[in-house]
Structure 1
Amino acid sequence: MSRAALLVLADGRFPAGGHAHSGGAEAAVKAGRITEAESLAEFCRGRLHTTGLVSAALAAAAVLGADPAALDAAADARTPSPALRGAARKLGRQLMRAARATWPSGELDAVALEFPKGAHQPVVLGLAARAAGLEAVDAAYCAAYESVSGPASAVVRLLSLDPFDASGVLARLAPELDRVVDQAVGAALRVADEGVDVLPAVSAPLLEISAEAHAGWPVRLFAS
């Protein structure tokens, strides 16, 4: 295993489509829930312990060899919002294209054929990490970090927030990110014996509701 592959997978320049999505930050900015670095930190903390935890567990379970179809169904069940399900599948399709070009794999080819419109992004992320020779903990870190780095980057554009402040928010979340990854990997390790229902199913109702409203905006900077 070359852990350097994780740097490629987690790099914001990896062509996986994440730059077009705000992770709910655009709707939160418009609603006045994110106004500066402190409120961004609270938004990211909430997202990390809900969406981030679920995504990290799904990605880790995919690396460990859980059935991708079962994981995709589990992701669907944990995403009540049709808008968010659609966004997750679009991101999954784009990530799949990038992953197959970067780490050719028969498993990736098979899943791409099974889900022509895209599997959920965390599932594809785990499969990409597996194809790259990475471990479950690597995929979990990548998923958890993406859950907060995406909104932080978006808020820099939406509010002209100082990038140094946004980076500080992410750095201060590091200890919590470690704990979320530990929890996610612990759950993923139980899937082989207990099935996908053992994976976290933490909800973020406001993100789901805001996503539905955001999808109907006539003008928006981000896709989600």
Structure 2
Amino acid sequence: MSSLTTLLALADSRLPTGGHVHSGGVEEAVTSRLVVDLETLEAYLRRRIRTSGLVTASVAAAVHRDDLTVAEADAETDARTPSPAARGASRAQGRGLLRLARRVWPAPGQGWAWDELGARPHLAVTAGRVGAVSGLDPFQSALSLVYTTMTGTATAAQRLLALDPADVAALTFSLAPLCEDTAELAAAGLADLSDPLLDELAQRHIQRERPLFVS
């Protein structure tokens, strides 16, 4: 399988990793009237891409290059994710991707086994290892995470606000250059920032009764 085809497959929203049940905080943003239409959704997506998207992708790229051990990457991700709820969402999605990776690449052949990642690895850690095994380069591993950070949240907002799917798709196309620029930054080195608003939304979300999304 070519690296481009692999990249497309990993970015496919139909990938059975559990990502479709996570909104990236936009459900709480909609409830709080911070995201109410296409314009405010664009602002939210740009913020997500430049913060959590960048950080997650930078850890994945570092794992891909073997710049960080699994334990180091886990600790770095925890340090960059102040919200316990956001950490839980990351680990849930990492576990989902790991489950798929065991099926697709049962014998990684990189001098380690999937078991090294543990039972609940962060999404960035799993994605970095998947990128290395599947033949992607670090930039492509980063881009896959940045892209899915955007599209997962955009799709959730589309459902929550009953937006026109064509409008949301056009918005994601317009954000493609930002995704690529962010992936380049992520591949260049570890990002060390967080977003207090996104952390607050993540925490408020888990306190709501019967949310539609897990996070």
TM-score range, shorter chain: over 0.9
| 140 and 114 in structure 1: CA distance in 2 versus 1, 3 angstrom threshold | closer
> How many angstroms does 1:161 deviate by?
0.7
Give the aligned partner of residue 80 of structure 1: 82
Give the aligned partner of residue 155 of structure 2: 153
> How many angstroms does 1:49 deviate by?
0.5
1:164 aligns with 2:183: no
Identity of aligned residues (%): 41
Distance in structure 2 (CA, Å) of the matches to 1:97 and 1:109: 16
| 108 and 98 in structure 1: CA distance in 2 versus 1, 3 angstrom threshold | farther
> How many angstroms does 1:112 deviate by?
3.3
Q: In the alignment, is the contact (CA less than 8 A) between 1:140 and 1:181 conserved in 2?
A: yes
| 111 and 78 in structure 1: CA distance in 2 versus 1, 3 angstrom threshold | farther
TM-score, normalization by structure 1: 0.90
Q: Which of structure 1's runs of 4+ aligned residues deviate more than 2 A? A: 106-114
Deviations 1:3-54 (A, max 9, x none): 2111111111111110000000000000001111111000000010000110
| 86 and 36 in structure 1: CA distance in 2 versus 1, 3 angstrom threshold | same
Q: In the alignment, is the contact (CA less than 8 A) between 2:85 and 2:202 conserved in 1?
A: yes
Distance in structure 1 (CA, Å) of the matches to 2:58 and 2:117: 22
TM-score, normalization by structure 2: 0.94
Give the aligned partner of residue 191 of structure 2: 200
| 131 and 114 in structure 1: CA distance in 2 versus 1, 3 angstrom threshold | closer
Give the aligned partner of residue 216 of structure 1: 207
Distance in structure 2 (CA, Å) of the matches to 1:114 and 1:146: 21
1:1-224, aligned counterparts within 5 Å? Answer: 2-3=2-3, 4-66=5-67, 67-104=69-106, 105=108, 110-116=113-119, 118-187=120-189, 199-224=190-215
Q: Alignment length, in residue pairs?
A: 212
Distance in structure 2 (CA, Å) of the matches to 1:80 and 1:108: 32
Q: In the alignment, is the contact (CA less than 8 A) between 1:108 and 1:127 conserved in 2?
A: no
Distance in structure 1 (CA, Å) of the matches to 2:2 and 2:29: 38
Q: Greater shift after overlay, 141-150 or 101-110? A: 101-110
Distance in structure 1 (CA, Å) of the matches to 2:76 and 2:9: 27
Distance in structure 2 (CA, Å) of the matches to 1:215 and 1:88: 14
Deviations 1:36-88 (A, max 9, x none): 11110000000100001101111111111231211111000000111111111
Report the residue type matching 2:113 in the other structure: A
Q: In the alignment, is the contact (CA less than 8 A) between 1:40 and 1:169 conserved in 2?
A: no
Q: In the alignment, is the contact (CA less than 8 A) between 1:96 and 1:108 conserved in 2?
A: no
- Unaligned stretches of 5+ residues in structure 2: none
Q: Give 3-state SS (helix, strand or coil) of 2:150's partner.
A: helix
> How many angstroms does 1:90 deviate by?
0.9
